[in-house]
Amino acid sequence: MDEPDSTGRFGTFGGRFVPEPLMQALMDLEVNFRKFWSDPEFKGEYYDILKNFGGRPTPVTFLKNMSNDLGVNLYLKREDLAHTGSHKINNVIGQALLAKRMGKSNLIAETGAGQHGVATATAAALLGLKATVYMGAVDVKRQGLNVFRMELLGAKVVPVESGSKTLKDAVNEAMRAWVKEVDDTHYCLGSVMGPHPYPWIVREFQRILGSEARSQIYEILGGKYPNYVVACVGGGSNAAGTFSGFVDTDAELVGVEASGGAALTYGTVGVVHGMKSYILQDEVGQILEASSISAGLDYPGVGPEHSFLKENKRVRYETATDSEVLSAFKILSSSEGIIPALESAHGLAWIIKASRTGEISQGSNVLLTLSGRGDKDVAEVKEMVDRGTVI
Amino acid sequence: MLENLTKKDLKPLVVPYITGQMRDDWLDIIYQMANAKADAIEVGLPFSDPMIDGPTIQESSKKAIENGATTDSILDGLASLDIDCPIYIMTYYNLIVRVGIDRFVERVVSSKVKGLIVPDLPLEEIDELNTATRSAGVSQVLLVAPSTPDLRMASIAKRSAGFLYTMGLMGVTGERSSLPQSALETARRAKKVAPGDLPVLVGIGVSLPEQAREITKYCDGVVVGSAIVRRILNGSKIDEIGEFIQSFKS
Ligand SMILES: Cc1ncc(COP(=O)(O)O)c(C=O)c1O
């Protein structure tokens, strides 16, 4: 996967649709990222922290029982075992280091369920930065434990009362806050979305996921690449990192969206949060709210590079419903001893479905990025079970 | 031919803002603004995700959308007006993209709208829309900010038509109790680089006539947004809104 062009576009998608007061900051960010991402000392520090603090490399695990049941060979790239419990740490360590190099003392971030907020608070604590996390008031209520976690890590959590009070509004509010504090503050965006250079920067910081997976699975399969490489897609960062390791192989790449937040499957092209991409919007152009059991996929847009990969057909995008996801969540927990994040369970849900229908042919080698662990979700799932939802 | 705003006398230019359809009598308010000697009127198309707007204009956008406002309904309303005060549309880019650039510009022309202000379209992204607006004779107003370096400010001013929208501070729309230092400094810099016939107006954070008087020592006029929108939201009567606008002219 290449650099975007000089206007920050992947094909026709991406760009920088932001108010003028943010342009200087975005241009500075691009210049600095370009400089430090080719600086061996910067890279050395980034890899060192991810190894000794972040727990990388994460392993690839063969799922014996499920493989038997499904008739395919199923492997998981275990981002659930990375520090803070998801792939988000790869990106925030990179951005926090970059912020320090740029002389910024504060980080701001948006968060939905709280995973990116927790990761940002963690990086800030580690590197001596101040973190402020914008979180929709609705999500603050739903994810009380993660709010406390962020506060424990020393971050300030600001409930966002505007709009629909969820992730998309948290992004707006973080942008508004950034305009005011742009001199000493870096906006640590959580996915491959937003204005250029973010989609590119975040993908580069998630590349480590894909490069590790590539060499690990190649060795496991005795010198072959898998037939399928699958990842869930919210904004699209774990998928972008994963796919970056496999675009030049024969593997079929599959991104799985939540059916209630499927910008690529059901959306149309538009401009929101600084980027041109597929988004869920109504007929006059108002942005719609996404709705999914996994807060991390509850986003009406998607990163512009995914829109590009959809149009040039290198990646296919599928969806999974809430009930398929709950079932996958339960199967992985009970048959393999791994409780997945509900986000990651979307990828698994599609694999289960496609294996059973024969779309993935028997004996195929399938690699799924398990983007995070499910600890954050068990309370919510328990509530659903208590209310009588069958999983 | 693109016409810039021109001063009729020595008084500063005053451009009040209203979000389209935020109140049922929005068109009457626009008439009143014109009667109050507004030099132009900025009408906002409400958007669900207004990135550069503070709570007051956010609230007005929400109200407008709840009132059923759409691009079409607002442009239809404007087309029905019979005033000689130029109207500028403020809209986020997605509402234009959704309709299609060419069709949107056609609609704007047929509604007798003079120009467009698109706050999430920086210099680097204006070309596509600018091609359409230029050939249709619609003025595209560009924005500069306190963070905009001089050279860039000059390039933006060169491409701006109608007037140059100078953001007085690094922040979102909203009222401020006093004029920030950055407004004076940015107005001064903008005036220096802007072509002689392009008026420089300062917006964002200009809420009171005293502030307007102070800032127009350095520029040609002001855009008054949140201070008016708050009054409309609070149920101010139409003539009170007119008087408030007039107070900027005295
Ligand atoms: C575990 C996990 N997976 C996936 C996502 C979705 O984000 P992305 O598509 O950027 O990987 C999130 C977001 O919060 C997450 O927490």
Q: Is residue A360 part of a domain?
A: yes
| Residue A313 backbone zone (phi > 0: left; psi -120 to 50: alpha; other: beta) | left
pLDDT of residue B217 exceeding 90 = yes
Interface of A with B in 148-167 (CB under 8 A): 162-163
Per DSSP bridges, beta strands B200-203 and B13-19 are unpaired
- What dihedral do alpha carbons A174, A178, A181, A182 form, nearest 10°? 150
Q: Say which of B49, B93, B147 has its CB closest to residue A287.
A: B49
Domains assigned to chain B = 13-249 (3.20.20.70)
Note whether A251 and A354 are same-domain residues: yes
d(CA A291, CA B117) in angstroms, rounded, equals 33
**Chains A & B: contacts with CB separation below 8 Å:** 111
pLDDT at site A144 = 87
User: What does the pLDDT look like over B81-119, one tens digit per residue?
Assistant: 999 999 999 999 999 999 999 999 999 999 999 999 999
Distance CA A160, CA B19 (A): 23
Report the alpha-carbon distance of residue B169 to residue B185 in Å, rounded: 10
Whether A18 and A163 map to the same domain: the answer is yes
Q: Which of A145, A178, A198 represents a domain boundary (last residue)? A: A198
For residue A310, give the H/E element and its range.
Answer: helix A304-311
CB contact under 8 A, B49 and A273: yes
Amino acid present at A317: Y
Which of A13, A17, A164, A172 to probe the B interface (max B CBs under 10 A)? A17
> Annotated active-site positions of B, please?
42, 53
Whether residues A226 and A335 fall in one domain: yes
* C-alpha of residue A190 to centroid of ligand 1, in Å: 9
The domain that holds A257 is classified in CATH as 3.40.50.1100
Please tell me which residue in A86, A104, A371, A376 is annotated as part of the active site.
A371
- In angstroms, the CA A302 to CA A264 distance is 7
**Token pair for B108:** 């704007």
Torsion sign over Cα A152, A156, A159, A163: negative
Handedness of CA A327, A333, A338, A339 (dihedral sign): positive
What own/partner pairs with CB < 8 Å and gap ≥ 24 does A175-179 have? A175/A18, A175/A22, A175/A273, A175/A274, A175/B51, A176/B51, A176/B52, A176/B54, A176/B172, A177/A108, A177/A132, A177/A134, A178/A22, A178/A25, A178/A108, A179/A19, A179/A21, A179/A22, A179/B52, A179/B170, A179/B171, A179/B172
The residue from A88, A104, A353, A376 that is catalytic is A88
* A285-341 pLDDT tens trace: 999 998 888 888 989 999 999 999 999 999 999 999 999 999 999 999 999 999 999
In this structure, the answer to whether residues A144 and A13 fall within a common structural domain is: yes
B29 Cα to the center of ligand 1, angstroms: 47
Residue B70: pLDDT band (50, 70, 90) is very high
Domain-terminating residue out of A198, A233, A268? A198
* Cβ contacts of A179 on chain B, cutoff 8 Å: 52, 170-172
CA A299/CA A273 separation, integer angstroms: 11
Subunit contact B119:A19, Cβ cutoff 8 A: yes
Q: Does B59 touch chain A (CB under 8 A)?
A: no
Give the DSSP letter of residue B46.
P
Helices (H), ranges, B36-140: 55-66, 71-79, 93-99, 101-110, 127-136
Considering the domain architecture, whether residues A171 and A251 belong to the same structural domain is answered as no
Assess whether A269 and A319 both reside in one domain: yes
Partners of A359 in beta bridges: none
Q: Mutate which of B45, B49, B76, B92 to disrupt the A interface (most A C-beta within 10 Å)?
A: B49
Beta bridge partners of A108: A132, A187
Q: Is residue A186 part of a domain?
A: yes
Among the partner residues B49, B62, B70, nearest to A284 by beta-carbon distance: B70
Which residue type, as a one-letter code, is found at position A110?
E
From the list B96, B85, B168, the residue with the least C-alpha distance to B130 is B96
Contact A240, A14 (CB under 8 A): no
Residue A353: both structure tokens together: 């479905």
Check whether residue A147 and residue A70 sit in a common domain.
Answer: no
Task: Give, for all 391 residues of chain A, the pLDDT tens digit.
Answer: 999 999 999 999 999 999 999 999 999 999 999 999 999 999 999 999 999 999 999 999 999 999 999 999 999 999 999 999 999 999 999 999 999 999 999 999 999 989 999 999 999 999 999 999 999 999 998 888 899 999 999 999 999 999 889 899 999 999 999 999 999 999 999 999 999 999 999 999 999 999 999 999 999 999 999 999 999 999 999 999 999 999 999 999 999 999 999 999 999 999 999 999 999 999 999 999 988 888 889 899 999 999 999 999 999 999 999 999 999 999 999 999 999 999 999 999 999 999 999 999 999 999 999 999 999 999 889 999 999 887 7
Of A158, A180, A198, which residue is a domain's last? A198
Atom of ligand 1 nearest to the CA of A234: 9
> Looking at the complex, does the CB of residue B125 fall below 8 Å from at least one CB of chain A?
yes
**What residues flank ligand 1, with Cβ below 6 Å?**
A 86, 112-113, 115-116, 191, 232-239, 296-297, 341, 343-344, 371-372
**A4 within some domain:** no
Residue nearest (by alpha carbon) to ligand 1 atom 13: A296
My answer on whether A211 and A359 are in the same domain is yes
Q: How far is B125 from chain A (nearest CA, A)?
A: 7
Q: Are residues A194 and A219 in the same domain?
A: no
Q: Closest by alpha carbon to A269, among A228, A301, A233?
A: A301
Q: Which residue of A has its CA nearest to B172?
A: A176
Q: Determine, for residues A18 and B122 on separate chains, whether the beta-carbon distance falls below 8 Å.
A: yes
Q: Is A274 on the interface with B (CB under 8 A)?
A: yes
pLDDT at B43: 98
Taking the C-alpha atoms of residue A294 and residue A281, their distance in angstroms, rounded to an integer, is 20
How many domains are contained in chain A? 2
Is A161 catalytic? The answer is: no
The rounded Å distance from CA A330 to ligand 1 centre is 19
Residues 6+ apart with CB under 8 A from B146: A21, B167, B168, B169, B170, B182, B183, B185, B186
Residues A151 and A241 in one domain: no
> What pTM, to 2 d.p., does this model score?
0.97
Q: Is the pLDDT of residue B2 over 80?
A: no
Interface test with B, best of A284, A289, A307 (most B CBs within 10 A): A284
Tokens of residue A38, six digits: 């080719």
Minimal-distance CA residue of chain B relative to A182: B170
Residue A98 maps to a domain: yes
CA separation for the pair A302, A311 (Å, rounded): 14
- Pair of tokens at residue A44: 């050395």
Considering Cα of B166, then B172, then B173, then B174, what sign does the dihedral take?
negative
Q: How high is the pLDDT of residue A294?
A: 86
Containing domain of residue A302, as a range?
55-86+206-386
Residue A138 and residue A233 in one domain: no
Q: Does the CB of B122 have a partner CB in chain A at under 8 Å? A: yes
- Chain segment A151-165, per-residue pLDDT in tens: 999 999 999 999 889
Q: Which atom in ligand 1 lies closest to the alpha carbon of residue A344?
A: 3
Phi-psi region of B159 (alpha: psi -120 to 50; beta: other; left: phi over 0): alpha
Whether residue A288 lies inside any domain: the answer is yes
In the structure encoding, which two tokens stand for residue B39, read together?
A: 């030099």
Tokens of B245: 């606008």
Of B127, A187, B132, B82, nearest to B142 (Cα)?
Answer: B127
Query: Chain B residue with minimal CA distance to A164?
Result: B48
- A180 contacts chain B (CB < 8 A): yes
The span from the CA of B76 to the CA of A96, in Å, is 49
Residues A104 and A193 occupy one common structural domain: yes
Residue A71 lies in a domain: yes
Residue B1's pLDDT is: 53
Mean pLDDT of chain A: 96
Report if residue A3 sits inside a domain: no
**Residue B62: phi, psi to the nearest 5?**
-60, -45
| Average confidence (pLDDT) over B62-67 | 97
CA torsion angle A131 A132 A135 A137 (round to 10): 140
Residue A2 lies in a domain: no
Task: Please confirm whether the linkage preceding A304 is cis (ω < 30° from 0).
Answer: no
